[in-house]
């Protein structure tokens, strides 16, 4: 039973566990095609809080990027931010991959994605 009760600092570290749970949540959202569009309703911060806002905005950008969305902030007109988020979120495409070889062996597969050329009219 050697190793059964060994101390694992990652499992006992709450920060590590929370980070792992958050990453798993983002991955589940992406698999479900759910994108987050954080809208910061605080408006523009001034003075000493401006630096804290930069960190908060970076965090919001990270959350949005992890799920394929976009963060909206830095504007005192909340209705415009919400309108932008809705407009941005309603226009996107889904791409799926269905392998002809259905044997799952855990190896990477190479795929090629090409786009049809669009005729340019003037």
pLDDT tens profile 41-69? 776 766 556 666 677 788 889 888 888 88
The domain ranges of the chain are 9-89
Q: Which helix (H) or strand (E) holds 65?
A: helix 49-67
Encode pLDDT of 79-118 as tens digits. 888 888 888 877 666 566 777 777 778 788 787 877 777 7
Gap between the Cα atoms of 18 and 114, Å rounded: 38
74: left (phi over 0), alpha (psi -120 to 50) or beta: left
Local structure of 31: helix, strand or coil: helix
Question: Which tokens sit at 54?
Answer: 């930069």
Separation of first and last alpha carbons in the chain: 75
């Amino acid at each position: 039973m050697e190793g059964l009760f060994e101390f694992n600092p990652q499992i006992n570290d709450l920060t590590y566990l929370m980070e792992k749970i958050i990453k798993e949540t983002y991955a589940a959202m992406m698999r479900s095609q759910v994108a987050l569009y954080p809208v910061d309703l605080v408006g523009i911060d001034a003075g000493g809080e401006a630096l804290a806002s930069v960190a908060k905005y970076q965090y919001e950008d990270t959350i949005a990027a992890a799920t394929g969305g976009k963060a909206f902030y830095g504007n005192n007109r909340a209705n415009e931010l919400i309108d932008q988020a809705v407009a941005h979120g309603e226009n996107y495409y889904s791409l799926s991959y269905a392998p002809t070889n259905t044997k799952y062996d855990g190896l990477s597969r190479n795929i090629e994605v090409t786009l049809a050329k669009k005729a340019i009219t003037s």
